[in-house]
């Protein structure tokens, strides 16, 4: 595992005018002796709430209402540990829901905020499409050949997709971005390195995708010093308070979701007024696909939930999003919608 250099530069204040507290962090120190003044991350939630006295008495530990919310009841979680939206701070913190009393903690390299987190006897089996991406092999090859094949369907390539997404996200600059169904973090890392956002949350249901994302982050010292967190969660039960997130990205993801409408409704719920949702996916067919070919494409593409342009716009609109715009090339679509 690569270790970050202790000479990394701290994040510059001018990058985060909307969240000034994030620019006051001390340097990232990936050793066993941590700074006595951890990164403070203040969220528009409520005032600090203490847990049990024995939990709040440890030196250099804080107990605050956090950005994350309980996936069971959506109450903001109470956080014990160093504040901050970075791998070190998240790993050293514990999270607890004051309402339902459920606890959450970092597991391996990510924070597990699924409803099934911590269960001993009950397990859930997801659809085949979801389980496929939980495979260690698929997680390993995703950026080593798998993703590159998307250009056959019209995907313009990660660099151009990132540039297109950044254009859509201009209204959300300086805010918190959640990259749902992030996979191995291809775009999460790009968003974090851009310095455009005060924090980036790489979120996926696959444990192995998140581990792979962490491996890539450890190979880049600048990412280790950035405000990026890895979270395991279900896109149909996002662990954030309503109206708390500025931007949501879902790259090549919609066709993998068991219920697109449930997922988009959740994304709409967590977006603040003016927040932006940007997604890309494969189309079942586009407006330029010949009518004679469409039935064959529908038969071939039955394993995933491929939609049409009209269906994507319809589900976004029905979930309360407005200003729907799109760019289509062959079977590729990138779209944007905004929370009014």
Q: What CATH number has the domain bearing residue 144?
A: 3.40.50.150
> Which structural domain, as residue segments, surrounds residue 168?
123-339
C-alpha to C-alpha distance for 250 and 280, rounded to whole angstroms: 6
Distance CA 7, CA 85 (A): 20
Q: Could you tell me if residue 240 is inside a domain? A: yes
Q: Are 66 and 78 in contact (CB under 8 A)?
A: yes
The reply to whether 19 falls in a domain is: no
Assigned domain for 52 exists: no
Apex CA 208: angle with CA 102 and CA 248, to 5°?
A: 70
In a domain, 40, yes or no: no
- Is 275 within the bounds of a domain? yes
Model pTM score = 0.78
Based on the structure, what is the number of domains in the chain?
A: 1
- Domain membership flag for residue 181: yes
CA 224 to chain CA mean position, Å:
17
168 occurs within a structural domain: yes
pLDDT tens track, the chain, 340 positions: 444 443 333 333 333 344 444 433 333 333 333 343 444 444 443 333 334 434 333 434 445 567 999 999 999 999 999 989 999 999 999 999 999 999 998 877 999 999 999 888 888 777 766 777 888 899 999 999 999 999 988 999 999 999 999 999 999 999 999 999 999 999 999 999 999 999 999 999 999 999 999 999 999 998 988 999 999 999 999 999 999 999 999 999 999 999 999 999 999 999 999 999 999 999 986 556 555 555 555 555 555 688 999 999 999 999 999 999 999 998 899 999 999 9
Q: Is residue 21 part of a domain?
A: no
């Amino acid at each position: 595992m690569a270790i970050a250099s202790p000479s990394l530069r701290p994040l510059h204040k001018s990058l985060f005018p909307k969240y000034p507290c994030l620019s006051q962090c001390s340097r990232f120190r990936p050793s066993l002796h941590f700074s006595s003044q951890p990164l403070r991350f203040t969220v528009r939630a409520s005032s600090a709430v203490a847990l049990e006295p024995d939990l709040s008495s440890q030196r250099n530990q804080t107990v605050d209402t956090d950005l994350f919310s309980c996936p069971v009841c959506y109450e903001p979680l109470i956080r014990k540990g160093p504040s901050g939206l970075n791998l070190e701070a998240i790993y050293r913190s514990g999270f607890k829901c004051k309402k339902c009393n459920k606890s959450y903690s970092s597991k391996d390299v990510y924070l597990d905020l699924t409803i099934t987190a911590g269960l001993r006897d009950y397990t859930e089996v997801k659809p085949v499409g979801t389980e496929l991406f939980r495979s260690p092999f698929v997680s390993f090859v995703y950026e080593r050949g798998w993703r590159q094949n998307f250009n056959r369907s019209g995907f313009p390539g990660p660099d151009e997709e990132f540039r297109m997404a950044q254009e859509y996200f201009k209204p959300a600059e300086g805010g918190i971005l959640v990259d749902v169904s992030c996979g191995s973090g291809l775009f999460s890392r790009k968003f974090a390195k851009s310095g455009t956002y005060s924090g980036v949350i790489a979120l996926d249901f696959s444990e192995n995708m998140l581990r792979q994302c962490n491996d890539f982050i450890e190979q880049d010292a600048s990412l280790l010093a950035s405000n990026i967190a890895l979270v395991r969660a279900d896109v149909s039960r996002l662990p954030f308070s309503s109206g708390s997130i500025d931007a949501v990205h879902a790259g090549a993801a919609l066709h993998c979701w068991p219920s697109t409408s449930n997922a988009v409704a959740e994304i709409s719920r967590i977006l603040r007024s003016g927040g932006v949702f940007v997604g890309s996916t494969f189309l079942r067919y586009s407006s330029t696909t010949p009518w004679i070919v469409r039935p064959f494409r529908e038969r071939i593409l039955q394993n995933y939930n491929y939609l049409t342009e009209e269906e994507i716009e319809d589900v976004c609109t029905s979930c309360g999003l407005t200003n729907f715009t799109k760019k289509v090339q062959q079977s590729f679509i990138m779209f944007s919608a905004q929370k009014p």
